[in-house]
Structure 1
Amino acid sequence: MTDPKPGPPVQRRKVFYLPGYDPFPPRRYRELYRREGAAQAEISGYVLDLQGMPGGPGWTVRYLENDQEVETSVTVLVWSDLVQASMRGGVLASYLALLHTVWIYLSSGAFLRLARLRKGPVIAALYPIVALLAQLALAVGVGVGVASLIGGGFGFGLGVLTALGLLQLACRVDRWLYAHYLMRDYAYSAAEGGAYPAALAEKLTQFADTIVEAVTEGADEVLLVGHSSGAYLAVSVLAEVQRRGTRAAGVPIALLTLGQVVPMVSALPKADQLRADLAEMGAQSEIFWLDVTAPGDGCAFALCDPVAVSGVAGDDQRAPVIISARFTETLAPETWARLRWRFFRLHFQYLCAFDRPGDYDYFRITAGPLTLRQRFGTRASSPSVLRRNVAPRP
């Protein structure tokens, strides 16, 4: 672990967590933080005391280690209402989303460009397509079989009902398959060719307002954490904060992106706002930006520079610092053996306890006595970072 830059220890921090495409309420993340934080504290030898935040989507954390005490408030930036609205419509909506999303990625050439980067997230993107088409083929095959066996108009009607019933059943058990969920996820990001839908753009403005207000209230650090698709949303939020000019407040602002899928959106033809925000955040140095992924996470674009691969890296690029969480080293062999094929669970490992934490400890970062810049400001990016440009041509 590199020595942190000197500076006063953090005594009071404000953390904002921006989840990915997730219909669940903030309490899911509170309980995850409570459970995994307790496990990490026991492994690493510090104390975490978590309390709910009355009337708000978050919680407070008291961190204690070697007579250092830190008070942190964690607030979830909620856009689950938009996710829930986008997931309505049942089976038919999922198949219409499939057709529309495949058309956008193929007709724009984005899919072929993305295939030049990490194969894991490309395979993950293909999974819901293959799974939904397999479910459709199975349902139709069984329906045809029923119709042929019974015959006549009654048999035809029963075959249709059987096929529809099987498709509905597959949708009901999607909590284990994730096919419909992932399809809606990709469809939401691609619906307007990479441009932010109006309702989401309004949310991002509100999130920027919230962070600016937190900066003016004063703290030793204001940290925004974006996970999965929440990572690229967090980039746009802090780009807006940067444009408003918060440096006068003198409060350190930092960005931590985890398991990012930035290229899935920035490679689309109408993602102009995201690419502009990436360019701005990549060129500035006022907001310290750390990007953490892991090759073991098949759902993320591991060790891909989100600025460079989006085609907006200039000669003056300063951010982000890009490191790996190194799952195969920081998880015990038995833990890795248990999780390595649970791809969705691994995508959330960044928010969980590690058996052998190195310099990446989510709970020390979000609740401990060092700012993100103090902890990682002298750290160089991994030498295996990919910077291949997959952005659409102008």
Structure 2
Amino acid sequence: MPGAPVAKRLVFHVGGYDPITPSASPQRRFVREIERFQRTWSVEAIVDDLRDSADQSRWNVTTTGPNWRVETDYHLVRWDDVIDRFSRRSIASRIPLGLLAFLEFVSAGTLWRYLQSNWRYAFFFLYPFVMFGVLTAAAVLIGVLAFRITSSIPVAIGGGLFGFAAVLAGPWRWLNLGNLFDDWIFSREYIRRGNSEIEQRLDRLAAELVNAANNSAADEILVIGHSLGAVLAVDLLDRALKLDPALGRDKIPVTFLSVGSSILKIGLHPKAIRFRTTVERVAKSRAIFWGDYQALVDPLNFYKSRPMGDMGLSIENEATVRVVKLSRMLDHEIYQRIRFNFFRLHCQFVSGNDRRTSYDYFMLTCGPVSAKSQTLAPDGALSMIGDDGACIVGARPAENTLLTSPGAAA
């Protein structure tokens, strides 16, 4: 196994635009999913000691196998309160702000860049706005039909308004259009001026990360960002590097994993100059290893992309890209049931697996093999963990099979 086994790990996880409340819900989901991890890898796990604050939710995870034990101090970076405030805005403001975001991303040429990088993501961008247009057209059609039947303009207007109200009461909620609109509203605001509350939070967490890097007993610090959370994770690391340019160099190694990432969602916007500069500073820090996991069937990530190259930045510091297959992580029946539930597929990046594969969120965050070693090895931890869950002593991929070059894809 490359390097010494990990006995203690510190994890900072930044989730995507996921309106989960109350704050205890993420831990319940974590506990539920880690049970699958235990069955799949023949290991045991104990999750306890939930500590909740405005900035983060923390809990301890103890995982054990026949010949190893790992203690993980797990920090879930909170921004559900920010998401909740967006969702509590009136529909009368969310709809025009969402349409304004749509027009800006299109007029700035960002949609065209999405099409060039990954056409599936371009369709994800278009989906909420196209659906809203279709539903609005249906409401207008109701008004037109009412006019043809009654020849009354007031009745026609009333019919159209009734149809639009029905759209907001039904399909708007059923199709999660409100959350999708909010997602793009937030993205536009983040690009243009940032979010002061999130920035202050990241400043405090960056100081905590630097302090841990200098004083913690952890063998590895893992910063992992899922979906839009990968954008905030980059921001967190950049702030930590400003406090300590030697982060990850002298004491505890630091690994950054972007999984199902939306980094290009922001980075491809022409006005996201501040963010691209942030990404470049983090990528240039050779002491921080960056791995980027992507999947074909997930339209909410950028499949087969090169984050740095696609943003027009130096590919010398490109992330190590790993392409994984979500279908191999799940039992066939489960995969067939959720294959068209794109949000559920997207969440598989942070869920438990039914099968052992080269990518496993809980093996990366709670397993005895460092996240960097798992990312560099072509088969992840598969050849390093036995059928009984034990670390295979001396297991080490051949040097010529390790993904050592930036941007290499497995």
Q: TM-score normalised to the size of structure 2?
A: 0.84
Contact persistence 1:299–1:347 (CA under 8 A): yes
Measure how far apart 1:37 and its partner are.
0.9
Q: What is the 5 A alignment of 1:228-307?
A: 228-245=227-244, 246-247=247-248, 250-307=251-308
Q: SS of the residue aligned with 1:71?
A: strand
Letter in 2 for 1:301: F
Letter in 2 for 1:187: I
Measure how far apart 1:55 and its partner are.
4.1
Contact persistence 2:306–2:407 (CA under 8 A): no
Measure how far apart 1:227 and its partner are.
0.5
Q: Which whole-Å CA distance do the structure 2 matches of 1:116 and 1:160 have between them?
A: 38
Contact persistence 2:36–2:354 (CA under 8 A): no
1:360 aligns with 2:356: no
Contact persistence 1:195–1:271 (CA under 8 A): no
Q: What is the 5 A alignment of 1:152-167?
A: 152=152, 155=155, 158-159=158-159, 161-167=161-167
Q: SS of the residue aligned with 1:53?
A: strand
Letter in 1 for 2:103: W
Paired position in structure 1 for 2:199? 201
Match of 2:19 among 23, 33, 42: 23
Q: SS of the residue aligned with 1:63?
A: strand
Paired position in structure 2 for 1:168? 168
Deviations 1:58-78 (A, max 9, x none): 321110012311111211111
Paired position in structure 2 for 1:136? 136
Match of 2:10 among 9, 14, 38: 14
Letter in 2 for 1:278: V
Contact persistence 2:322–2:408 (CA under 8 A): no
Distance 1:221 1:192, change over 3 A: closer
Q: Which whole-Å CA distance do the structure 1 matches of 2:153 and 2:262 have between them?
A: 49
Match of 1:183 among 175, 181, 184: 181
Contact persistence 1:91–1:167 (CA under 8 A): no
Q: What is the 5 A alignment of 1:52-91?
A: 52-56=49-53, 57-91=57-91
Deviations 1:240-267 (A, max 9, x none): 2123223476112111111001111111
Q: Which whole-Å CA distance do the structure 2 matches of 1:242 and 1:383 have between them?
A: 22
Measure how far apart 1:149 and its partner are.
4.5
1:340 aligns with 2:336: no
Contact persistence 1:278–1:312 (CA under 8 A): no
Q: SS of the residue aligned with 1:242?
A: helix
Q: Which whole-Å CA distance do the structure 2 matches of 1:198 and 1:355 have between them?
A: 40
Q: What is the 5 A alignment of 1:365-384?
A: 365-377=364-376, 379-380=402-403
Q: Which whole-Å CA distance do the structure 2 matches of 1:296 and 1:10 have between them?
A: 32
Deviations 1:256-282 (A, max 9, x none): 111001111111122122101211222
Mean alpha-carbon deviation: is it higher for 61-70 or for 145-154? 145-154
Measure how far apart 1:144 and its partner are.
4.1
Measure how far apart 1:6 and its partner are.
2.0
Q: Which whole-Å CA distance do the structure 2 matches of 1:19 and 1:354 have between them?
A: 18
Paired position in structure 1 for 2:98? 98
Q: Which whole-Å CA distance do the structure 1 matches of 2:148 and 2:16 have between them?
A: 45
Match of 1:216 among 207, 214, 217: 214
Measure how far apart 1:384 and its partner are.
8.2
Q: Which whole-Å CA distance do the structure 1 matches of 2:49 and 2:153 have between them?
A: 60
Measure how far apart 1:138 and its partner are.
1.7
Deviations 1:344-366 (A, max 9, x none): 10000011122322221111111
Mean alpha-carbon deviation: is it higher for 238-247 or for 116-125? 238-247
- What RMSD in Å do the two structures reach over aligned CA positions? 2.5
Unmatched tracts of structure 1, length 5 or more: 387-394
Contact persistence 1:40–1:354 (CA under 8 A): yes
Paired position in structure 2 for 1:390? none
Deviations 1:104-148 (A, max 9, x none): 112211111221111111111111011111121122322444465
Deviations 1:67-109 (A, max 9, x none): 3111112111111122122223333223212321122112211
Q: Which whole-Å CA distance do the structure 1 matches of 2:407 and 2:209 have between them?
A: 33
Contact persistence 1:118–1:301 (CA under 8 A): yes
Distance 1:244 1:70, change over 3 A: same
Measure how far apart 1:204 and its partner are.
2.5
Q: SS of the residue aligned with 1:285?
A: coil
Q: SS of the residue aligned with 2:353?
A: coil
Letter in 2 for 1:74: Y
Q: SS of the residue aligned with 1:348?
A: helix
Contact persistence 1:5–1:377 (CA under 8 A): no
Q: SS of the residue aligned with 1:255?
A: strand
Mean alpha-carbon deviation: is it higher for 139-148 or for 237-246? 139-148
Contact persistence 1:59–1:74 (CA under 8 A): yes
Contact persistence 1:303–1:382 (CA under 8 A): no
Deviations 1:324-351 (A, max 9, x none): 2212333333332222111110000011
Letter in 2 for 1:336: Y
1:116 aligns with 2:116: yes
Mean alpha-carbon deviation: is it higher for 24-33 or for 56-65? 24-33
Contact persistence 1:14–1:221 (CA under 8 A): yes
Q: Which whole-Å CA distance do the structure 2 matches of 1:330 and 1:255 have between them?
A: 22
Q: Which whole-Å CA distance do the structure 2 matches of 1:114 and 1:161 have between them?
A: 35
Letter in 2 for 1:349: Q
Q: SS of the residue aligned with 2:255?
A: strand
Unmatched tracts of structure 2, length 5 or more: 378-401
Q: SS of the residue aligned with 1:288?
A: strand
Measure how far apart 1:152 and its partner are.
4.8
